[in-house]
Structure 1
Amino acid sequence: MDSTSKKLLLLALVLALAAGLGVYYFFAGLERKALVEHTEEVVVATVNIPARTTVRGPMVTVVRVPRGSRHLSATDSLGNVIGRVTTAPIIAGEQVLLARLHGSGQDSGLAFEIAAGYRALSVHINERIAVAYLVRPGDSVDVTVSYEPATPQGEHQSVIMLQNILVVAIGSETRHGAPAPADAKTITLAVTPEQAERLVWAEDHGSIRLLLRPVTDNRHITTNGANSRTVAGPR
């Protein structure tokens, strides 16, 4: 075989290979196009995720499912689920539903509204204690206590005991900014464990009042308290 024939044979082989690759990529493109046209992405769990668990990256992934099989409450974005807290268990392989994640608008319970390190504590209220029921969930209040110290003088004292305390509920109403129910008998405050101890003692052994704070004022102030001498004495 002369050199010309070899060149022609090599050219034919190259053209055949190119044609084969072209056909392969053509059909592969059709397959990808069909996959995109007939499927859609959805976030699914890669492991069993218990309720009240913060969703981390390795717990979820995005897969393609037949178009129309994605649940209406599911999502195709990992950003919509990572960092959220589950309100119900999610099984491995199951689509992650936004309705099962806290913060999607459903009532998930008060426990999801309380910051770490705090506790929800309810105290009894009436119109006088709760600023004529003008306090609303989401407001901040100061708590004053009036009590009779165990001293020889037995002098009544009134002091601001807690400041800038978040109101998380009034009665059963937890929606921020919602008016207090007319029949509300309790107010629920977010307090630290140490504040909870003091507040329980104050309610059991004295009388408390709430002071509604302006939304723009989060300062802590220092006062000397008040008693019969400071109230009636000269200014």
Structure 2
Amino acid sequence: MKRISPATVTVGVFAILFGLVAAYATKRYFAAPEPVPPPTESFVVARINLPQYARIREQDVEVIQVPLGKAPEGALRMRNNAVFRLTRDSIRAGEPIFEADLYEIGKSPTLADQIPPGLRAVTVSVDREAAVDGLILPDSHVDVSLTVHGDHPELNGVATLTLMRNVLVLATNQNRYPGEERMYRSLRTVTLAVTPEQSNRLILAERYGSLSVSLRSSVDDALAAGDVDDNLVNPSDLLNLSPIEPVAQVQKTVHIWRGTQMQELTFLEDRIQESYDTTAAIERRQSGVPAVVPTGFGNEKQHQDGFLYDGDAAYDADEPTHDWPFGESRSTSQLNVVRPNG
């Protein structure tokens, strides 16, 4: 048997390789060309539900590809265009994010953006010890209470009443807008959304007492904003004490004679005390001690001799004449004496 030379083997191997290459080239030549993928474009969508005033994190958004011309007009194209910015309104998961949905880079909401139409923003100081510290947040609803001290009979020294109900909180000194990271300090002020009339009530209330706020349930809408009921509470109500009846003042009657004409005047005890104070002031003035003389009742003065003289409450005994409330001018020597009756 004749042996195959190495040269013959080499030629055969090259022939086989050449045939395979020729077959592959022929197949590619007669095969249909692969389709060219259509052009695409990308835009940014929310991966989770984003509340109003939320600061967007990188994991909160994603970029999706769609055929060219299918992306919403105005939608953001790159993730970096949305990250670390605040949302102006809530955005649902899967919704595209537009430039108008976000505040400008480095910007945050202003108070004017949060005020409902027709209302006003009023900032009031609240009692730190009576406030729900740390739980009052923007978008909460609260009741506003007023505590006053005074000597009015219905107060019994001190009383508290609900001034307004179901009032929207716009901001606090801890949080300027919903979703903002809380500043670690005590609750001292709250900014409320109220009507113009209610804003005046709050401003006036701050001058007469201290305000406090109580947090309302999110589903409690039994009373509309600003509605109040009769809920005045004072120490007597708190301790179930009987109210103190006011002491009736004793009345005193004075007859004033002018010739044959008599005029009767009635005074309460507090007015008589005021007359005594006026007399003391006049005596100090006559003795050379400067003093401010209060005006008496009906322009009468009671002197140290126990009589009342009609005349100017702050008259100077050294002055020769005076203008009297009855339209005539008389000297002090013409004064008529009047005597008090029991």
Quote the offset at 1:153 in angstroms: 6.5
> Which ranges of structure 1 fall in alignment gaps of 5 or more residues?
1-36, 38-69, 75-84, 86-97
How large is the Cα RMSD of the aligned pairs? 3.7
Change (3 A) 1:111 1:150: farther
Q: Tell me, in whole angstroms, the C-alpha distance in 2 between the residues paired with 1:145 and 1:219.
A: 21
Q: Quick check: 1:231 aligned with 2:238?
A: yes
SS in 1 for 2:133: helix
CA contact (8 A) 2:145 2:213 kept: yes
Indicate the residue corresponding to 2:165 in structure 1: 163
**Match 2:203 to one of 195, 200, 205:** 200
Alignment TM-score, normalising by the size of structure 2:
0.37
Quote the offset at 1:72 in angstroms: 6.1
Change (3 A) 1:121 1:176: same
Q: Tell me, in whole angstroms, the C-alpha distance in 2 between the residues paired with 1:180 and 1:129.
A: 20
Indicate the residue corresponding to 1:214 in structure 2: 217
Find runs of 4+ consecutive structure 1 residues off by over 6 angstroms: none
SS in 1 for 2:176: coil
Note the 1:58-207 alignment, pairs <5 A.
Answer: 99=99, 101=100, 104-105=102-103, 107-125=108-126, 127-148=128-149, 151=152, 155=156, 156-171=158-173, 173-176=175-178, 178=180, 180-183=182-185, 185-207=188-210
Alignment TM-score, normalising by the size of structure 1:
0.52
Change (3 A) 1:161 1:179: farther
Quote the offset at 1:127 in angstroms: 3.7
In structure 2, give the amino acid aligned to 1:117: G
Q: Tell me, in whole angstroms, the C-alpha distance in 2 between the residues paired with 1:204 and 1:185.
A: 16
**Per chain length, whose mean CA-contact separation is higher, i.e. which structure has more relative contact order (CA < 8 Å, sep 6+)?**
1
1:18-69 Cα distance to aligned partner (Å, 9 max, x none): xxxxxxxxxxxxxxxxxxx9xxxxxxxxxxxxxxxxxxxxxxxxxxxxxxxx
Q: Tell me, in whole angstroms, the C-alpha distance in 1 between the residues paired with 2:146 and 2:154.
A: 18
Q: Tell me, in whole angstroms, the C-alpha distance in 1 between the residues paired with 2:151 and 2:181.
A: 39
Change (3 A) 1:150 1:217: same
Change (3 A) 1:150 1:104: farther
CA contact (8 A) 2:174 2:184 kept: no
1:191-216 Cα distance to aligned partner (Å, 9 max, x none): 11111111111122101111100111
SS in 1 for 2:163: strand
CA contact (8 A) 2:139 2:168 kept: yes
CA contact (8 A) 2:174 2:182 kept: no
CA contact (8 A) 1:138 1:176 kept: yes
**Which one is further off, 158-167 or 173-182?**
173-182
Change (3 A) 1:149 1:126: closer
CA contact (8 A) 1:119 1:190 kept: yes
In structure 1, give the amino acid aligned to 2:152: T
In structure 2, give the amino acid aligned to 1:119: R
> Which ranges of structure 2 fall in alignment gaps of 5 or more residues?
1-38, 40-72, 78-87, 89-97, 243-342
| Number of equivalences | 149
Q: Report which of the two has the higher share of helix.
A: 1
SS in 2 for 1:202: helix
In structure 2, give the amino acid aligned to 1:164: N
Q: Tell me, in whole angstroms, the C-alpha distance in 2 between the residues paired with 1:194 and 1:150.
A: 27
CA contact (8 A) 2:140 2:215 kept: yes
SS in 2 for 1:136: coil
